[in-house]
């Protein structure tokens, strides 16, 4: 049995699996479900596991305490993205989510902070409510297409908050960016990151070589990356030139006087930050809405209680607004439990170590990566009893008030690298979920023979893990049509055409 006996140059390394020559334990990590491998290792080796993957040292954190100790409390040492250089080959060098711990990354975080800090995000509330109302109209008109509408909704909010762009049906910007983001989601897994870091020649393997074609995929990816950063950014410059004053991350940054005159470098940072906001925010928000929908179908009891709370706090004449949030604790509890039960990002983006460190007697060398198994932490039976059960009451006290437990925020990552859009995301999700629950009821779909259709989602593989292609029935609640028609009038300026 190997338990913590391996020694690094600077001391004892934490326990972990013994790997094979060259690839280390890289191929033992399940690429589709890495959190499963990490959780198994967590049970066997503990909260901090060490392995080598493709020639690189990798630390896996399976414990909330260790994650806080290292990534939050010692964040100045654990905020690099050491693998990031290898990813430049994908054309992501503009993406602050993958930048090292350097000045360009700091500038990007300042750009985000300006528009997305807890107070600043309030400027987007009217837009978020407007998009939630549009979503209700879409669901009322064609509930079977909920997946498509969730995508459009998430995209629309991010594009507005980032570029001040008001999306239309079949918006060309949305389709350009969606295709580009699909590349990031595909290549953003620990396996791809590890392989590109260790064996950069893989990027040059053409299709002619046994049909593998990494080279062609990378060329396509690079083209999309360039377009997704340039095209919408230019659009915002045009809006600004026309005197459009909608708030957005790009416009707010460019208008901020301390950066006048705007340098080419600063523009590069702004356009990169904007591209990152979309790529990091659209898929994660959509994923959370999909998980929420699946959970509502599976838990009619929770849904009924949510309906009752909304009806009693908001009434039947209008839809919830942000001002109602305090009187709808169950909606917040549902949101928190949804993020816990299936976080959109189950395995965190690796944090790089800047300097050698020692933790709990173990040596952590500089240049290695720390990966947090977010799913594993959320499914720690010692912390969350009956962890597989969806139970929003975990976040409520005996009087039904929200508790102080905000551990769902772990879904947004750690330390200085914590998700830059978390306040925006929370508000987007809250407005969508509260409005949807006010207006609709979810249940299992019924097939042609009158039988209930099982929920067997396909889960996507990549940086995010999303349930898709499942069927459910979304029906308007009593009195809902009138409320949605009011929302349509407010959102579009007209009622439904006959
Ligand atoms: C449910 C929605 C979301 C979830 C679950 C989520 C989760 C995450 C996670 C886990 C990280 C990695 C943090 C780390 O390395 O420790 C991250 C990073 C990031 N997120 Fe989000 N995110 C969401 C929505 C958004 C939105 C709406 C935006 C932008 C408007 C956004 C922008 C970013 C950016 C820019 C980063 C990179 C931060 C950095 O490396 O400094 N995210 N997010």
| Domain ranges (residues) in the chain | 1-89+346-378, 94-345+379-492
Taking 60 as the threshold, does the pLDDT of residue 2 lie above it? no
Binding residues for heme: 419
Q: Quick one: fold of 94-345+379-492? A: Cytochrome p450 (1.10.630)
What is the tens place of the pLDDT at every residue in 445-490?
Answer: 999 999 999 999 999 988 899 999 999 999 999 888 888 888 888 8
- Confidence band of 180 (pLDDT split at 50, 70, 90): confident
pLDDT digits (tens, 9 = 90+) for 126-166: 999 999 999 999 999 999 999 999 999 999 999 999 999 99
Distance CA 460, CA 443 (A): 23
- Average pLDDT score over the chain: 91
Phi, psi of 422 (to 5 degrees): -65, -35
**Model ipTM value:** 0.99
> For residue 341, what is the enclosing H or E element?
helix 329-341
Helix (H) or strand (E) run with residue 394 in it: none
Strand bridging mode 362-364 / 467-468: unpaired
Q: Give the pLDDT mean for 239-251.
A: 92
Q: Is the pTM of this model over 0.90?
A: yes
**206 or 408: which carries more pLDDT confidence?**
408
- Report the separation in Å between the CA atom of 439 and the middle of ligand 1, taken as the mean of its atom positions: 29
Mean pLDDT is highest, among 181-190, 199-208, 351-360, for 351-360
Q: In this structure, what DSSP letter does residue 16 have?
A: -
> Of 147, 177, 145, whose CA–CA distance to 159 is shortest?
177
Ligand 1 centroid vs 455 CA: distance in angstroms?
A: 28
The position carrying tokens 């008109």 is 141
Sorted by sequence, the CB contacts under 8 Å of residue 406 that are 6+ apart come out as 336
Using one digit for the tens of pLDDT, what is the confidence trace for 63-108? Answer: 999 999 999 999 999 999 987 666 788 888 889 998 999 999 999 9
Instruction: Determine the Cα–Cα distance for residues 271 and 229; give it in Å rounded to an integer.
Output: 6
SS3 sequence, 56-109? EEEEEECCHHHHHHHHHHCHHHCCECCCHHHHHHHCCCCCHHHCCCCHHHHHHH
Q: How far is CA 344 from CA 162, 376, 488, in A?
A: 21, 13, 30
pLDDT tens digits, one per residue of 326-371: 999 999 999 999 999 999 999 999 999 999 999 999 999 999 999 9
Ligand 1: atom nearest CA of 71 is 16
- Among 419, 424, 425, which is best to mutate for testing ligand 1, by the most ligand atoms less than 8 A from CB? 419
**Pocket of ligand 1 from Cβ distances under 6 Å:** 96-97, 109, 158, 276-277, 280-281, 284-285, 288, 343-345, 348-349, 411-414, 417-421, 424-425
CATH architecture of 1-89+346-378: 2-Layer Sandwich (3.30)
What's the pLDDT at 55?
80
Q: 96-100 — which CB contacts under 8 Å span 24+ positions?
A: 96/272, 96/273, 96/276, 96/420, 97/276, 97/279, 97/280, 97/349, 98/349, 100/352
The answer to whether residues 40 and 17 touch, using CB atoms and an 8 Å cutoff, is: no
What's the distance, Cα to Cα, between the start and end of the chain in Å? 72
């Amino acid at each position: 049995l190997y338990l913590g006996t391996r020694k690094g140059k600077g001391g004892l390394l934490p326990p972990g699996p013994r790997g094979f020559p060259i690839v280390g334990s890289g191929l033992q990590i399940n690429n589709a479900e890495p959190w499963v491998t990490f959780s198994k290792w967590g049970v066997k080796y503990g909260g901090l596991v060490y392995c080598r993957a493709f020639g690189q040292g990798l630390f896996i954190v399976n414990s909330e305490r260790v994650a806080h100790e290292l990534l939050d409390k010692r964040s100045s040492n654990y905020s690099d993205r050491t693998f990031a250089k290898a990813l430049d080959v994908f054309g992501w060098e503009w993406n602050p989510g993958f930048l090292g711990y350097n000045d360009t990354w700091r500038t990007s975080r300042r750009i985000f902070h300006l528009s997305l800090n807890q107070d600043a995000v309030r400027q987007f509330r009217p837009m978020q409510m407007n998009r939630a109302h549009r979503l209700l109209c879409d669901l009322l008109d064609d509930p079977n297409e909920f997946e498509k509408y969730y995508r459009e909704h998430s995209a629309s909010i991010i594009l507005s908050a980032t570029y001040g762009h008001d999306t239309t049906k079949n918006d060309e910007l949305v389709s350009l960016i969606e295709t580009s983001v699909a590349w990031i989601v595909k290549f953003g897994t620990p396996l791809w990151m590890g392989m590109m870091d260790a064996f950069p020649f893989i990027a040059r393997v053409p299709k002619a070589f046994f049909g593998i074609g990494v080279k062609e995929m990378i060329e396509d990816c690079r083209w999309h990356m360039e377009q997704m950063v340039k095209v919408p950014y230019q659009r915002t410059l045009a809006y600004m030139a026309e005197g459009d004053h909608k708030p957005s991350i790009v416009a707010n940054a460019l208008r901020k006087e301390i950066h006048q005159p705007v340098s080419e470098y600063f523009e590069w940072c702004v356009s990169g930050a904007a591209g990152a906001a979309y790529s990091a925010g659209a898929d994660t928000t959509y994923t959370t809405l999909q998980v929420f929908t699946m959970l509502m179908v599976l838990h009619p009891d929770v849904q009924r209680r949510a309906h009752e709370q909304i009806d009693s706090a908001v009434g039947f004449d209008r839809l919830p607004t942000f001002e109602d949030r305090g009187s709808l604790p169950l909606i917040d509890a549902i949101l928190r439990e949804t993020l816990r039960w299936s976080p959109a990002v189950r395995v965190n983006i690796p944090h790089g170590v800047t300097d050698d460190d020692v933790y709990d007697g173990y040596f952590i060398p500089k240049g290695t990566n720390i990966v947090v198994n977010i799913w594993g932490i959320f499914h720690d039976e010692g912390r969350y009893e009956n962890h597989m059960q969806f139970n929003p009451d975990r976040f409520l006290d005996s009087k039904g008030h929200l508790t102080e437990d905000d551990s769902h925020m772990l879904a947004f990552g750690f330390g200085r690298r914590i998700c830059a859009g978390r306040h925006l995301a929370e508000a987007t999700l809250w407005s969508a979920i509260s409005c949807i629950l006010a207006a609709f009821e979810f249940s299992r779909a019924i097939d042609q023979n009158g039988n209930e259709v099982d929920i067997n989602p396909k889960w996507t593989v990549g940086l995010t893990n999303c349930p898709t292609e499942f069927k459910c029935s979304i029906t308007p609640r009593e009195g809902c049509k009138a409320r949605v028609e009011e929302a349509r009038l407010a959102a579009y300026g007209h009622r439904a055409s006959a």
